[in-house]
């Protein structure tokens, strides 16, 4: 069945585990992701980002996607997730990733998303609170969960390029949760988006620990979310480069660090880059065997459209991107 995010993360909080949350940039990925979760008898969190919705709505220049494109894309992915998820034995959440404004949120909900993120992390605190509160009001009335974000991750953050990170201040986080009533909160504690997170990243576990302590002291409940959590598997990067790619400086967050973040209070772990790396490897392999497809507008054209150079992160080119 399709469910909101909140009950899935309530269970994770109550039992001290975390759920992976996986981005889909094409409708066909939803089916595969649901099937894998069924094998593990685990709830599923699928995420479609704002630009991905415009792209899945058939908008080639997705960065210029209109509200209509986003509604069409959200409906395409919503229909697919309903088709495969409605009769699934595991709970399925369809979550908007990095929603940028009220229009994106409304488009996602109209398309059948059961949960939305509103990312106001680039705004001043009070404006972030105001926007998130407005989204909570709209979404909760419709039975839809809300994730907010406080703090800035380094690297590309969808519509925002942040040169450096600003860790989440635990006291501000508590104030934010109290004022907005959000169900989940994305925090900045050392992760970053994309394939170049730096070598040997150590996560600042004391940040989620402090937020969790302060929340419980205030009698507030909110799940904490780790964005930018791809592990960037070396073997996939090597295979892409052997197939003619040029990904330099590829480093993810180690599994050891991610596992240690869970007892520190992280309940949702977002992964997008790892999936796109795997898609990139497989498409390059296909072109190796069937070079004529590279020239076909329908397949090669899609690859051209999706290709992005991670060494020159361009927020607009980045989203439904496949790494070149
Ligand atoms: O965070 C928003 C998008 O999912 C971007 O993720 O850093 O893997 O490109 P990415
Ligand atoms: P990665 O770039 O590490 O996959 O992060 C994904 C993410 O945070 C999606 O919101
Ligand atoms: Na952000
Ligand atoms: Zn993210």
Q: What ligand 1 atom has the least distance to the C-alpha of 227? A: 1
In the predicted structure, residue 158 carries a pLDDT above the cut 70? no
Nearest ligand by distance to the CA of 160: 3
Give the lowest-confidence range in 208-217, 229-238, 286-295. 286-295
The binding site for dihydroxyacetone phosphate consists of 194, 228-230, 270-273
Ligand 1: centre distance to CA 319 (Å) = 6
141 φ/ψ sector (left φ>0, alpha ψ -120 to 50, else beta) = alpha
Indicate the SS3 state at residue 116: strand
Tell me the C-alpha distance between 126 and 32, whole Å. 40
Catalytic residue among 97, 183, 274, 324: 97
**Average per-residue pLDDT in the chain?**
86
The tens digit of pLDDT for each residue in 248-275 reads 889 999 999 999 999 999 999 999 999 8
Do 118 and 181 form a contact (C-beta atoms < 8 A)?
A: no
Tell me the C-alpha distance between 18 and 12, whole Å. 6
Transcribe 136-201 into DSSP letters.
Answer: HHHHHTTT-EEEEEESB-BEEETTEEESS-BPPPHHHHHHHHHHH--SEEEE-SS-BSSSB--TT-
The CATH code of the domain that includes 229 is: 3.20.20.70
182: nearest Cα among 214, 224, 142: 224
**Dihedrals φ, ψ of 56, to 5°?**
-70, -10
Q: Residues of 230-259 as b/e, b for ≥16 C-beta within 10 angstroms?
A: bbbeeebbebbeebebebeebbbbeeebbe
48: nearest Cα among 87, 80, 8: 80
In the chain, how long is the greatest CA-to-CA distance?
A: 62
Predicted pLDDT of residue 230: 95
The tens digit of pLDDT for each residue in 13-69 reads 999 999 999 998 777 788 889 999 999 999 999 999 888 888 778 776 777 888 898
Total number of domains in the chain: 1
Query: Is there a domain that residue 261 lies in?
Result: yes
Ligand 1: centre distance to CA 100 (Å) = 13
Give the lowest-confidence range in 42-56, 92-106, 110-124, 162-176. 162-176
CB of 273 shorter than 6 A to ligand 2: yes
Query: Is there a domain that residue 313 lies in?
Result: no
Tell me the C-alpha distance between 50 and 198, whole Å. 26
In the predicted structure, residue 304 carries a pLDDT above the cut 60? no
Query: Is there a domain that residue 317 lies in?
Result: no
In the predicted structure, residue 307 carries a pLDDT above the cut 70? no
Threshold 0.90, pTM exceeds: no
Do 258 and 269 form a contact (C-beta atoms < 8 A)?
A: yes
Query: Is there a domain that residue 46 lies in?
Result: yes
Percent of the chain surpassing pLDDT 90: 63
Structure-token pair, residue 315: 């927020």
The ipTM value here is: 0.76
Query: Is there a domain that residue 299 lies in?
Result: no
Indicate the SS3 state at residue 95: strand
Residue 299 binned pLDDT confidence (cut-offs 50, 70, 90): low
The tens digit of pLDDT for each residue in 213-242 reads 999 999 999 999 999 999 999 999 999 999
CB of 223 shorter than 6 A to ligand 2: no
Tell me the C-alpha distance between 32 and 261, whole Å. 27
Query: Is there a domain that residue 324 lies in?
Result: no
| 175 catalytic per annotation | no
Do 68 and 103 form a contact (C-beta atoms < 8 A)?
A: no
Strand runs labelled E in 53-99: 92-99
154: nearest Cα among 251, 288, 243: 251
Query: Is there a domain that residue 276 lies in?
Result: yes
Residue with CA at minimum distance from ligand 1 atom 8: 273
Residue 161 binned pLDDT confidence (cut-offs 50, 70, 90): very low
The binding site for Zn(2+) consists of 98, 119, 149, 193, 227
Query: Is there a domain that residue 11 lies in?
Result: yes
Tell me the C-alpha distance between 155 and 228, whole Å. 9
315's enclosing H/E stretch is: helix 315-318
Sign of the CA dihedral 176, 182, 186, 189? Answer: positive
What count of Cα atoms within 13 Å lies in the side-chain half-sphere of residue 244?
7
**Domain boundaries, position 87:** 5-283
Transcribe 218-268 into DSSP letters.
Answer: TT---EEEE-S-----HHHHHHHHHTT----S-B---HHHHHHHTTTTEEE
Number of C-beta neighbours around residue 290 at 10 A: 12
């Amino acid at each position: 069945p399709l469910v909101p995010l909140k009950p899935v993360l309530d269970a994770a909080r109550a039992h001290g585990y975390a759920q992976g949350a996986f981005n889909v940039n094409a409708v066909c990925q939803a089916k595969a992701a649901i099937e894998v979760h069924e094998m593990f008898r685990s709830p599923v969190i699928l995420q479609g980002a704002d630009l991905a919705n415009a792209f899945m709505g058939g908008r080639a220049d997705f960065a210029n996607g209109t509200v209509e494109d986003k509604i069409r894309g959200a409906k395409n992915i919503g229909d697919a997730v309903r088709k495969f998820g409605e009769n699934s034995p595991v709970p399925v959440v369809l979550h908007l990733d990095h929603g940028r404004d009220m229009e994106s949120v409304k488009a996602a909900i109209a398309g059948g998303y059961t949960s939305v993120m509103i990312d106001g992390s680039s705004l001043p605190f009070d404006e972030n609170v105001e926007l998130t509160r407005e989204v909570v009001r709209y979404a909760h009335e419709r039975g839809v969960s809300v994730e907010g974000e406080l703090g800035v991750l380094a690297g590309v953050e969808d519509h925002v390029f942040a040169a450096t990170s600003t860790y989440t201040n635990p006291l501000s986080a508590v104030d934010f949760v109290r004022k907005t009533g959000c169900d989940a909160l994305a925090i900045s504690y050392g992760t970053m988006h994309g394939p170049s997170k730096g070598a040997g990243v150590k996560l600042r576990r004391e940040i989620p620990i402090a937020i969790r302590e302060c929340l419980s002291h205030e009698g507030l409940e909110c799940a904490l979310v780790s964005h930018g959590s791809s592990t960037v598997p070396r073997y996939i990067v090597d295979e892409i480069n052997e197939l003619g790619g040029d990904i330099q400086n590829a480093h993810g967050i180690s599994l050891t660090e991610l596992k240690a973040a869970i007892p520190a209070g992280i309940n949702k772990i977002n992964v997008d880059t790892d999936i796109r790396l795997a898609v990139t490897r497989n498409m390059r392999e296909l072109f190796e065997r069937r070079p004529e497809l590279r020239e076909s507008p329908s397949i090669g054209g899609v690859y051209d459209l999706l290709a992005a150079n991670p060494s020159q992160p361009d927020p607009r080119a980045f989203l439904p991107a496949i790494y070149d």
